[in-house]
Amino acid sequence: MKSVKPMKKIALEEHFITAPFEEYETNIEEGRKAAASQDINLRLPEFDQLRLEAMDKAGIEISVLSMTSPGLQAEKDAAIAGQKAVEANDFLAGVIARHPKRFAGFAHLALQEPEAAIKELKRCVKEHNFKGAMINGHTNGVYLDDECYKGFWEAVASLDVPIYLHPADAFEMPQSYHDYPMLRGAMWGWGVETATHALRLILSGLFDRLPTVKVILEHMGEALPFMLWRLDSRFQLSEPTRPLQKLPSQYLKENFIVTTSGACDNAPLQCCLTAMGEDNVLFSTDYPFESAQIAADFIDSAPLSEELRAKICYQNAERILKL
């Protein structure tokens, strides 16, 4: 492969863990090869050497850090979840304070109690200067279009920060995944689950009520950019559950941002750029679950103009995250 000079990058799906959160990491190890697991477990709770070295090699100037999935969203006790969210966010603020030029943060929220989540998001943005929040899919089966999150989305709009909608397991495993455990998680199931969650947000009318809200999706948009025409076409033939002002594709273009995290392939990149627009595609790596180097080499050598590469690598992130 030809060697390319790495472009400056900002990455925004970069995970960590702290000891009190390891109990929530239940299924995540399943199906992962032992050697890969060892390396991930070494890197997840680490901030000072391995992580900075990987960032330097990949040309990543700033990593926006987030608690690894599912975190507190798997906690059944709402009070414990609320308390641990505060601890997790204060911990992350301490890490950022040690490396203020290299790290920024997304809040980790206990959505079991929407009022507490609102308060914590406000605290994180105003006191810790966090850039938004990462939410790991449904919380014990409740999705973000639920009526109980009306106030939460109003807070998101008034704070003017994006929500990164990160994959999670389906609440119940579909029959179609039986016999093939690899279908449940990262290879397939998470993408379907997260794309469906995004469509629920659109179909709920959230973006008619709050047109400035921005939601970030990983994996080049969980295949939704590929589906724009079909979504509109079949939506128009469906009995509406709620009146919408626009077609689904318009909300996807106006209210969603996609990252290249976990998808290092030029064909979907070109689809995203065409379908979503050049201002809505951002570089990310999913460290330490994916190689930051492979992600960086991919974007550094993708057939893009240097202007467009700069937008994807850091300029769009600077604008959206106000960095």
Give the catalytic positions in this structure.
286
The answer for residues whose C-beta is within 8 angstroms of residue 256's C-beta and 6 or more apart is: 198, 214, 215, 216, 217, 221, 224, 276, 280
Q: Which stretch binds Mn ion (CB under 5 A): 17-25, 140-148, 249-257, 279-287?
A: 279-287
Quote the least distance from Cβ 69 to Mn ion, whole Å: 6
Nearer to Mn ion, 131 or 304 (CB): 131
Q: Which stretch binds Mn ion (CB under 5 A): 82-90, 235-243, 286-294, 310-318?
A: 286-294
Tracing tokens 């930051």 back to the chain, one arrives at: 292
Nearer to Mn ion, 75 or 286 (CB): 286
Q: Which stretch binds Mn ion (CB under 5 A): 180-188, 193-201, 234-242, 285-293?
A: 285-293
Q: Which stretch binds Mn ion (CB under 5 A): 27-35, 172-180, 273-281, 284-292?
A: 284-292
Nearer to Mn ion, 255 or 284 (CB): 284
Quote the least distance from Cβ 235 to Mn ion, whole Å: 29
| Residues 138-157 within binding reach of Mn ion (CB under 5 A) | none
Instruction: Pick from 113, 193, 286, 297 the residue near Mn ion by CB under 5 A.
Output: 286
Under a CB-based contact definition with an 8 Å cutoff, are residues 103 and 170 in contact?
Answer: no
Nearer to Mn ion, 16 or 153 (CB): 16
Nearer to Mn ion, 54 or 155 (CB): 54
Quote the least distance from Cβ 286 to Mn ion, whole Å: 4
Residue with CB nearest Mn ion?
A: 286
Quote the least distance from Cβ 11 to Mn ion, whole Å: 11
| Residue 180 to residues 26, 36, 175, 303, Cα–Cα distance (Å) | 19, 21, 10, 36
What tokens does 256 get? 């969603």
| Residue 103 to residues 15, 77, 129, 214, Cα–Cα distance (Å) | 11, 31, 11, 22
Binding residues with Mn ion: total (CB under 5 A): 1
193 touches Mn ion by CB under 5 A = no
What tokens does 21 get? 């959160």
For the stretch 300-306, contacts whose Cβ atoms lie closer than 8 Å and that sit 24 or more positions apart, written own/partner, are 300/4, 300/5, 300/6, 300/7, 300/59, 301/1, 301/2, 301/4, 302/266, 302/269, 303/266, 306/7
Q: Is residue 208 exposed (0-12), middle (13-18) or buried (19+ Cβ within 10 Å)?
A: middle
What tokens does 114 get? 């929407």
The residues that touch Mn ion, with contacts defined as CB under 5 A, are 286
